[in-house]
A = this chain, B = another copy of it.
Amino acid sequence: MKTNLECIPCLFEQALRTAMMVTQDEQKIKQVQDELGEIIKEISLESTPPMLAKKMYENVALITGKEDPYQELKHKSTLEALALYPSVKEQVSRSIDPLLTAAKFAAIGNVIDFGVNHGYGLLDEINDVLTREFGVFDYGAFKEHLSKANEVLYIGDNAGESVFDRILIEEMGKNVTYVVRGGPVINDVTLKEALQAGIDTVATIISTGTNIPGAVTEFCGSEFNAAFQKSDMVISKGQGNYESLSDEERSIFFLLIVKCNLVAEEIGVQKGELVLKGIN
């Protein structure tokens, strides 16, 4: 998916939120915005939105001196999600179709982003999202692909959400390689938070090899790209990965909550809807 003109005001909004999270120094926050003004000039509308986000976050980190502004929040999100692990496991096992329920929880886990932005509790968010239906739900194809797959590549998105990914991975019962970001960016899961979530007990963890908040294959490392090519099935979590991978030619299943109007329009759903969408 290409960068849209609409992404630029949104990027300024995100830069502001992130800078305000790590500093109260108005001059520094203004400097973050001023420097972002420089960065957007270099942005091509041919690049994917996560490439912009990477530059924006690096800028915030540089000016505020905080390499990982979301570190504490990621830790807290994971702890919160881990506390819910037993009850979610029980809900999944009690349900008529445990795989479906696990997939729904994994998608719902993607709401954690909203928590970061809006500050309400994870349980409230989950209860809110549980009432929603999927806007796109290619579950039949998902189940069929999964039944035939040996090696599944599962591309993670946010910290905290990973705990729900773990539950889906446990339910899938396949050999799974779980992909984290190569370095801190926004609240995306890195090796550190994946280990905290216990992903290592259910999957092999690799990284994209870059801190772009989405798996843009062109900039990912060889380990990721080899796994991406050879896996029987790819599951991609979250909007950043959708934006990065939606034009790829291989079969991919996207599992996400849609967080902006542009992506909503492209997928043909409303903002806030759950999506399980298979391509190719």
> Taking beta carbons and an 8 Å cutoff, which residues of A are in contact with B?
5-6, 8-10, 12-13, 15-16, 20, 26, 29-30, 33-34, 36-38, 40-41, 45
Q: Does the CB pair A16–B26 fall under 8 Å?
A: no
Q: A37-B37, A37-B40, A40-B37 are in contact. Are A30 and B16 (CB under 8 A)?
A: no
Find out whether the CB atom of A40 lies under 8 angstroms from the CB atom of B34: yes
Q: Among the interface residues A8, A26, A29, A36, which one has the most CB atoms of the partner chain B within 10 A?
A: A8
Q: Which residues of B contact A33 (CB under 8 A)?
A: 5, 8, 40
Whether A9 pairs with B13 at a CB distance below 8 angstroms is yes
CB distance from A83 to the nearest CB of B (A): 32
Chain B residues within 8 Å of A41, by CB? 34, 37
**Chain B residues in 8 Å Cβ range of A9:** 9-10, 12-13, 15-16
**Which residues of B sit under 8 angstroms from A29, Cβ to Cβ?**
5
- In the complex, what's the smallest C-beta–C-beta distance from A39 to chain B, in angstroms? 8
Chain B CB count within 10 A is highest, among A10, A20, A41, for A41
Neighbour of A16 across the interface among B6, B13, B37, CB < 8 A:
B6
Q: Which residue, of A9, A30, A45, has the highest number of chain B Cβ atoms within 10 A?
A: A9
Give the residues in chain B near A38, CB-CB below 8 Å. Answer: 37
A30 touches B5 (CB 8 A): yes
* Contacts A40-B33, A41-B34, A45-B26 given; does A16 touch B12 at CB 8 Å: no
A8 to B5, CA, bound (A): 16
Residues of chain B lying within 8 A (CB to CB) of residue A13: 9
Return A33 CB to nearest CB of chain B, in Å: 5
